[in-house]
Structures are given as C-alpha cells and as structure tokens.
Structure 1
Amino acid sequence: MLLNDRTDQISVTAPATDDEWMETNVLLRERPLIQQLRSKVRDLCADFPDEYWREKDLKREYPQEFVDAMTGEGLLAALIPEEYGGLGLGITEASIIMEEINRSGGHAAACHAQLYTMKAVLNHGSQWQKDAYLPGIAEGSIRLQAFSITEEVSGSNTSAIQTRAVRDGDDWIITGHKNWTSRVDESDLLLVLTRTSDYDANDRNGGLTLFLVDLRQVRAEQPDAFRPIKVRTMFNYATNQVIYDGLRVPSSAVVGEVGRGFRYVIDGWNMERILLAAEAIGDGYWFIERASSYASTRETFGRKIGANQGVQFPIADAYMKVRAADAIRWEACALADNDSPVGAEANMAKHLASEASWEAANVCLNTYGGYGFVDQYDVERKFRETRMYQVAPVNNNLIKAFIGTKVLNMPRSY
C-alpha cells in the first residue's frame, strides 16, 4: 500500500532546546508522508459530507459506512506492524488521521479506539494474542473498538474500581459493572480492566488485570453474562453501560501479567490523550475555517462582518491558541514515536487542545449568531461534539493536578 513507505521518516530524539523542538515539529508537519496521508484522509472524508454526519447525529446512528471505508483503506490499522498486515506507522501518523476526520467535519470518536487500544496489545499482549487477532484487525474482519474501564463509584480514580475477576481453574470469571464502555455493539474484541486482588494502599495501582475478551464467543456462548445497556448522550456517541455477570474468559485473555494491568492501560491512555488532542485540534481548525469564511462573506450594515475588529480579533485569537496547542501535540507525537516518556506532554496536549477547540467553537457560534444554532450549518453539532474533550477521557482539572504534582513536584492534591 502507498502509505507503507516510510523511507522519508526522520529519526526523532528528545531535542534539548526549544529551537530544536521547533525544527523537529516543522519537519514532522512537512515531511512528504504526512502530506500524502492528509490528502488520503481528506479525499476519503469528502465522500462523507456534512449532510452524512448531520443525519447520523439526528438519528444517533453509528457511522458504519464511514468506518468501513476507513477500514478498507487500512487507516484503522495504522499502528499495527506490517508483519501483521498493518501500515506500521506511528502515533504521529495516527494523530493526522484523527485530526483530518474532525477537520473535515466528521467525528473520529466512531473509530478512534481501534488506534489507541493498540498500544496495550502491541506492547504487552502475548504472542498468541497478536497472532490470533492483529491480522484480522488489520484486514477489517475483526473489530477492536471497546475499552471497558470506568465505573460509577470510582470515576477517574481507576485504582478504586470494583469489577472483579476470580480464577476458576484455567479460566477467570468477571463480575461487575462499567458505566462507560463505548462501541461494544460495533466490536468483536473488548479490553476490560478488572481487580484480581484486594486494594493495597502501599501499591495503589497494583492488583488490576487487563483482559482481551473475544466478544464473538461471548455472544454465542454466554449472552446473559455480558449485558450492554445503551446510553444516550448529547451528541452521537455509541456508548454503553455494561454488566458483567459471571463472564467466563480463558487465561489466554490476560494481557501481560496478572496484577499489572494498570501499567498497561497507561500506554493506551497516553496514546488516547494524544489522539484526542489531534481530534480537538481538527475541530478547532474546522471552527476557525467556518468562522473566518462566514465573516468574510456575511454582510450587515453595508460591509463584511469580518471587517469589524469585534468579530475578527476573537477569531484570530482562537486560531493562535489552536496553533499553540498543535505544537504541543507534535512534541508529544515525537516523544511517543521515540518510545520516550510522554505522560506530561500527552496530558498537556489534550488539555490545551480541548480548551482551544472550545474557545474556537464559541467564537464560531458567536460569528454565526442565530444561524449557529440551526442544524443545517453544522456549527451546533460540532459545538456539542467538541465539548467532550474537556472532560473525557480525563477531566482537565485532573490534568492540572498531574502537571502540578508529577512535573512541578508540588504536594499531591488527590
């Protein structure tokens, strides 16, 4: 496939100075593969215009046709190594895919999990799991879109989850409840984090085990042990609660070592933060482009509204903030693709991008005025969609706490 060629890839190490970071970011943005990938995604998204997403949002339907098209082009197998039939690309390229979907007016939430869940499987999955599932995921016959972690009581405090897996011979039996598990109905595989030993205050993140569950077998053999309950949200997001009622899974479903699952999902979380930052950046650029275009054509009081500084300046300010967040996204991508520690940069990218996209959304809505609330302009749809990034997959306040304690070494606040 055309995108498999990475001969132009630069070697990225952690630059020592701001100037070196700037040079690295420019190189990443402008290298031919990136431009080629952008064009490929844009061309695909052009077949799914605003009207498509507007109808799916109205009916709260999963955009299966779009996801099938992405799968057919191999784009959802971006991170899977070529030896398994994937594109063998990095987080940099995966983030471009997510950005361009949202920048084109779509909503990457329909398929983003198949990219960020890959890290836990690629880094820590058994050879059997990789051989059994990765080729099918790459070709599109197997779907991995579901990540089952959050519970009602624990919320963002993952170490406090209560869903339990108990060993029974060669199997494990999972019992509990998750209140946010998205795209279950659209998935063949599911990653679920459970407790396999009691909470230990001296090892807050120990005792948790990650399972890769084959939902095809579950649906055929144990339908009553796995019960999704659809949840309707303020935008089109295929999410569910899930009740695990004695779900039996084989020991081969364990990802990595028993009791170390929290450390494995962190790999996925950091990638998730980077990819969702890219989505928010795509939204930000979409809002800026729509606002500036509308301001340049809409006339009142005998002139274009964009000539008024009260309209022009907020758009320009929002654009600069999106660009600034974009720079941190590239920094996080460079570190991730170099297998360097990326927790701080991934979190900062998600925080800054979500704040910038929300400001751009408000600026765009203000520019359109009353028309911004009319669905045919799509501003109100994207406005609802981009609001999610400030609270999911992690609340921005928790990111501030992380930076304050882990980066700035201030006392722990939670």
Structure 2
Amino acid sequence: MDLAEDPDHEAVAAGVRAVCAEFDDDYWAGCDRDHRFPWEFYDAMVAGGWVGVAIPERFGGGGCGITEAAILMREVAASGAAMNGCTALHLTVFGLEPVVRFGSERLQEAFLPRAAAGDLHVAFGVTEPTAGTDTSRIATRATPDATIGEDGGWRISGQKIWTSKAEESEVCLLLARTGEAEAGLDGLSLFLVDLDPAHVTVRPIPKTARNAVGSCEVFYDELPVEGWRLVGEEGRGFRHLLSGLNPERILIAAEAIGTGLAALRRGIAYAKERQVFGRPIGANQALSHPLADAHARLRAAWLMVQLAAWRYDHGLPCGEEANTAKYLAAEAGFDACDRVLQVHGGLGFAEEYHVGRYWREARIMRVAPVSQEMTLNYLAQQVLGLPRSY
C-alpha cells in the first residue's frame, strides 16, 4: 500500500468538491426540514459523471474502485451534505456490487448501464422488523412459480424495514428466503426486483434525522419476479451479499469522517471568531484540545479506511479492516460533531449554525448499517478468536 499522494485521487476529491460547492448548508437544511429529496444535487452529480464512478467501464461507468468511491463520499459529507447527500448516492455508487460480481449477463446489461447513467435509482431490502440484526431469521419468502416469465420465476411476499430511498427507487436489491427456515443463512437468495406499486406498498418511517432521504417500511404482496432477476445462485444470496457489505462499511466510514470534517471546519471558524473575556474562545485549551483531538482521530480513522479500501480493491480479505474502519470512523465522526456542538454552546442547537444537524446525522452511523456492538462482536470472534456471545 502506497501512502504517497495520488494525483488521480486528488482529482477525484477536487472534482467532487467543485460540484458540492454549488449546494451549501442552507440547501441541505432545507431538504432535511422539508423532507425533500435533493434532486438538484443528484442531477449535478450525474452530470459530473460521479454516480457511476465505481461501475465497470464496459457498462458505461468510471471503472474505479472502493477507494475512489470512499473519497467521493467523504467529500460529499464534508461539504455539509452529511448523510443526506451520501444516502442519495450510496446505493447507486457501490450498492450494485453483488450484481457486478454475480449477476447474469442479462441482469448486468439490463441495469448497470442505467445505473451508471444515473437514471436508475436502487434501494436495498434486507432488514426485517422481526429479524433485526439476525439475518438468518429473515421471513420474506420467494415461492417458485412456473407461470412467471419464459422460464418461470418467483412470487415474493413479506416485509422489510429501513429501506432507504424506496420512494424514489425503481428497483430493490432484495434478500428473500427460498429454502427452509431451518437452513438459516443458507436458505436465502438475492434478487433485483421491481418496486411495482401493484404488489409493493412503501410507507416512510417518521424519524429524527436524515429526512431528505426517507427510510421506509416496504410490504411485498405476491410480487412476481422473473427467473433472470435472481442474483447469482439460489440459496447463496447472503454469501453474494457479503461482497457488498464490506464496501458498505468502508463507505459509511468515509461518510462519518466527512461529516466530522464538516463539523470541525465550523468549530474551528467559530472558535477563532467568538470573543469572550477579551479573546477568542479557541485560545482556551478546554476548547482547542478537544478540536485537536477530533482532528487526530479523524485522520487516524481515514488511514484505516484507506487500508480497507486498498485491500478490497486488490482482492484481499478485508473483513477486519472494513469493520475496524467503520467502528473507528463512526466514533471519530460523532465525537467531532459532539465537541463542535459543545464549542458553540447553546448556539450549537440553533439551526443557522448547522452543527446540530451534523450531530444528529453522525449519530446514525453508530447504529447503521450495523451497530458498533456488532462490529466489536465480529472483531472479538473472527479476529481474536473469542467465544460467540449470542
């Protein structure tokens, strides 16, 4: 792994920053307040070619890796977009990795060029209200039906929760049970399904933060799915999904770092400008040291993101690195936001300063897409060899 500055990576960061500069904090605060999807931002990112950056070139994408995608997401979040901006892009930028790796040629040709062009919006349906973190208990079922399509297919019924961007999306990468319940993870299959309103009901979940992009309950009622919409092999859906979970952790880590950087930028400016007792409050170590500590932690977490991304892009195992990056970045990002809010005092809760919005959105990443406790469980069991606690 070469830690020297890479001109290509610098160009990615500069290009993304140039697009994001057109959308200030007030734009994002308005989208969040009005529960309005940031279409103007999304369209600008499409026009810049950034949405398809990690989709292979043969499908019209940029052919870059998770490293470049992480830089993209860090810069989007750092611009002040935080999680709202990143979630608008996240699933299209890298969420279709299981289709890239395991999808049939027909599936790839049908959807990847459209994703690269930015005119296909994708949601991700895994979590269920009765299963939660225990994916082996997924109950949404795909039942074979020979009458669907030329070669048969399935009918899918069930319920998913926390499906972000379902209101805007045309398709969903959906994990459903095709085997017996006793088979656990080995009985799950992955599909790329249409969110057909004749068979699919989408209900937004009222929530505390990141309201520009909705998170939804999605109900599937006998949704017909043609056989060619299966991603990879039947019964190996969870294994195929794993190819997207480590990149997801890496991208979330980058987003957490970017959100922390956005907050830190405002905290530093405020600490220089705000005068109390005849001097800037940033002269007080009680405020300057927490900001310096936040900077150090964000820098360290970014190094772990780089390592995890480099290993993934080079085809090396990266479970330990991806989970470590997610854990460290989620802590560092939230701590940075929390300390900046403290620097602002009561004004940290005033919407005009935006740090309260960063704080709320940074907190999400300590819970999603996997909790901090589950990342520690992974490290304890898979890396340290400690006995399983659940």
Superposition TM-score tier, normalisation by shorter sequence: over 0.9
For residue 116 of structure 1, report the CA deviation from its aligned partner. 2.8
For residue 41 of structure 1, report the CA deviation from its aligned partner. 0.6
- For residue 201 of structure 2, the aligned residue among 227, 230, 233 is 227
For residue 239 of structure 1, report the CA deviation from its aligned partner. 1.1
**Which residue does 1:276 correspond to in 2?**
252
Task: Decide whether the 8 Å contact of 1:192 with 1:211 is kept in 2.
Answer: yes
Range moving further from structure 2, 319-328 or 231-240:
231-240
Range moving further from structure 2, 317-326 or 395-404:
317-326
Q: Deviations over 1:284-316 (max 9, x none)?
A: 111222111211111100001011111111111
**Which residue does 2:129 correspond to in 1?**
152
- Distance, in Å, in 1 between the alignment partners of 2:22 and 2:246 is 31
Range moving further from structure 2, 113-122 or 363-372:
113-122
For residue 60 of structure 1, report the CA deviation from its aligned partner. 1.2
- Distance, in Å, in 2 between the alignment partners of 1:409 and 1:272 is 24
The amino acid that maps onto 2:105 is Q
For residue 238 of structure 1, report the CA deviation from its aligned partner. 1.2
Task: Decide whether the 8 Å contact of 1:372 with 1:379 is kept in 2.
Answer: yes
- For residue 345 of structure 1, the aligned residue among 311, 317, 321 is 321
For residue 204 of structure 1, report the CA deviation from its aligned partner. 3.7
- For residue 348 of structure 2, the aligned residue among 369, 372, 375 is 372
Q: Deviations over 1:117-142 (max 9, x none)?
A: 12111111111111111111112232
Structure 1 runs of 4+ with >3 Å offset: none
Task: Decide whether the 8 Å contact of 1:197 with 1:208 is kept in 2.
Answer: yes
- Distance, in Å, in 1 between the alignment partners of 2:218 and 2:185 is 23
After TM superposition, the score normalised by the length of structure 2 is 0.95
Residue 128 of structure 1 pairs with residue 123 of structure 2: no
- Distance, in Å, in 2 between the alignment partners of 1:133 and 1:183 is 17
Q: Deviations over 1:159-204 (max 9, x none)?
A: 111000000110201011111111112112211000011133xx64
Task: Decide whether the 8 Å contact of 1:79 with 1:118 is kept in 2.
Answer: no
**Which residue does 2:14 correspond to in 1?**
39
Q: Deviations over 1:322-355 (max 9, x none)?
A: 1111110010011010011111111111110000
**Which residue does 1:164 correspond to in 2?**
141
- For residue 37 of structure 2, the aligned residue among 62, 76, 82 is 62
Task: Decide whether the 8 Å contact of 1:110 with 1:238 is kept in 2.
Answer: no
Task: Decide whether the 8 Å contact of 2:204 with 2:217 is kept in 1.
Answer: yes
- Distance, in Å, in 2 between the alignment partners of 1:43 and 1:195 is 44
Residue 79 of structure 1 pairs with residue 64 of structure 2: no
For residue 214 of structure 1, report the CA deviation from its aligned partner. 2.8
Alignment of 1:211-222 (within 5 A): 211-215=191-195, 218-219=196-197
After TM superposition, the score normalised by the length of structure 1 is 0.90
Task: Decide whether the 8 Å contact of 2:51 with 2:117 is kept in 1.
Answer: no
Task: Decide whether the 8 Å contact of 1:322 with 1:357 is kept in 2.
Answer: yes
**Which residue does 1:357 correspond to in 2?**
333
**Which residue does 1:113 correspond to in 2?**
91
**Which residue does 2:371 correspond to in 1?**
395
Q: Deviations over 1:239-262 (max 9, x none)?
A: 110011111110111000000000
**Which residue does 1:15 correspond to in 2?**
none
Task: Decide whether the 8 Å contact of 2:55 with 2:94 is kept in 1.
Answer: no
Range moving further from structure 2, 349-358 or 63-72:
63-72
> Could you say what secondary structure the match of 2:221 adopts?
strand
**Which residue does 1:194 correspond to in 2?**
176
Task: Decide whether the 8 Å contact of 1:164 with 1:175 is kept in 2.
Answer: yes
Residue 209 of structure 1 pairs with residue 184 of structure 2: no
Residue 322 of structure 1 pairs with residue 302 of structure 2: no
Alignment of 1:241-252 (within 5 A): 241-252=217-228
> Could you say what secondary structure the match of 2:144 adopts?
strand
**Which residue does 2:149 correspond to in 1?**
none
For residue 98 of structure 1, report the CA deviation from its aligned partner. 0.4
Alignment of 1:257-296 (within 5 A): 257-296=233-272
